[in-house]
Structure 1
């Protein structure tokens, strides 16, 4: 089982790792700083260094509990340890976007009982889709949402992660219960991301430690995706 160092500390940029298994360009290590993607967040990018050889990490995926690193060519030595380095600018941008998506979904859940149905972080923007009750959607001042979010984030809030049992998570009020029900039945523990009293959610992704690190942002588009659904597109400055 690979130790997922990014879950313990999203700010680790480099580490050493031992090879567990190799299948041509696909490698599993004893530990990794590479996030394999999921929950709308793309996988990390970066390199793996072995002696003087540097290999580009093409893709990282989690398959049947294994984190598989696809590199640009086979390793020259399958016994020797490697040095992992992530593309920090890419990782940090995704951390900022991911945390902001939590803030938006938490704000809209608290004020308008919205349910986030999907999210995706792209290269230059992120999107969030939400469902609202038909009774309330016409009363929501979407044109003031950006201003309301920036007013909320004018104060700094810490972002915490913790692990709880699946049973405990299923008994929590709010949206955690919904997300937990979608997780594999074999998962006995759930990682929770909490942003003050703004949002508390089951999530395996990477986030900043404080909302001050999100920085400035804009809502660049609001789309109708049905009578009770809206898609919000955001862009970091």
Structure 2
């Protein structure tokens, strides 16, 4: 059962502007069953192939809740907790598990490097993907893979990591963003029509894409890239599985 909430409530997604902020003060604006919505949050909500953050919420009386799941529904970010949640209006401090977040940031950036390398080398679009901390898969619109594909891609990706390219985040009006075909690297445009201000992640000199995920500040922070397997997922769809190692 949900408590009453202000119809104008929305959650400020701090991580869209600053992926390195690990904690923030917030106020609970809605409660339902074992989840709370906050007016602002550093917790990434599952989306775009990137899993949610975990961490804690704590009030001023020494009570603490483990955050187990985070989802975006409408304008609110919901945080599922491990026991009966605090009430609407409670001030809490939200803190993410930074070790997990950093691994996901490294992984997400590695996928953008992979995408950029494949696009620049073969002009092939992404058809899907998913990630966990330090491991991921990405699907591409390939027919038969080129000879020596895994070796060549590994060499190119690790070269871009070694180049330590800076990563910049900006925001564009939807019309301007969608007018640039280079910004949408997926075969299907996954940006909801309701999103009018589109976030752009730019690995300077390599890859520039519309993206809502969290990333490291430069490619040098990713670590060493390794392809563990390539698979055929049907005609025109090939899967690349990868892991990251500490440099």
Shared fold, TM over 0.5: yes
The answer as to 2:139 corresponding to 1:129 is yes
Q: Which residue of 1 aligns with 2:45?
A: 36
The partner residue of 1:23 within 32, 35, 51 is 32
Q: Distance in 1 between matches of 2:197 and 2:236?
A: 33
Range moving further from structure 2, 170-179 or 18-27: 170-179
What is the aligned counterpart of 2:154 among 128, 146, 159?
146
With 179-188 and 203-212 compared, the bigger mean Cα shift is at: 179-188
Who is 1:89 aligned against?
Answer: 99
| Counterparts of residues 50-65 of structure 1 (less than 5 Å) | 50=59, 51-65=61-75
Q: Does 1:165 align with 2:173?
A: yes
Partner of 1:214: 222
Partner SS state of residue 165, structure 2: coil
- List per-residue Cα deviations over 1:116-164 (Å, max 9, x = no partner): 11111125521111112x4x84456333221222123221101111110
**CA-CA distance at 1:186 after TM superposition:** 2.0
Displacement, 1:76?
4.3
State the distance in 1 between where 2:157 and 2:194 align: 37
Deviation at 1:203, TM superposition (A): 0.7
Task: Verify: 1:8 aligned to 2:14, yes or no.
Answer: no
The 10-residue stretch of structure 1 (92-101 or 212-221) with the greater mean CA deviation from structure 2 = 212-221
SS in 2 for 1:153: helix
Distance 1:112 1:175 in 2: 17
Instruction: Report if aligned partners of 1:171, 1:177 keep a CA contact under 8 Å in 2.
Output: no
Gaps of 5+ in 1: none
**Matched residues in 2 for 1:177 and 1:150: separation?**
21
The CA distance in 2 between the partners of 1:220 and 1:145, in whole Å, is 12
Please say which of residues 80-89 and 169-178 is displaced more in the overlay: 169-178
Residues 66 and 80 (structure 1 numbering): CA distance in 2 closer, same or farther, change over 3 Å?
A: closer
> In terms of mean alpha carbon deviation, does 77-86 or 2-11 score higher?
77-86
Answer whether contact 1:109 1:115 (CA < 8 A) is retained. yes
Q: Which of 181, 187, 196 is matched with 2:195 structurally?
A: 187
Alignment: residue pair count: 235
Can you give the 5+ residue segments of structure 2 that lack an aligned partner in the other structure?
A: 1-9
CA RMSD of aligned residues (A): 1.9
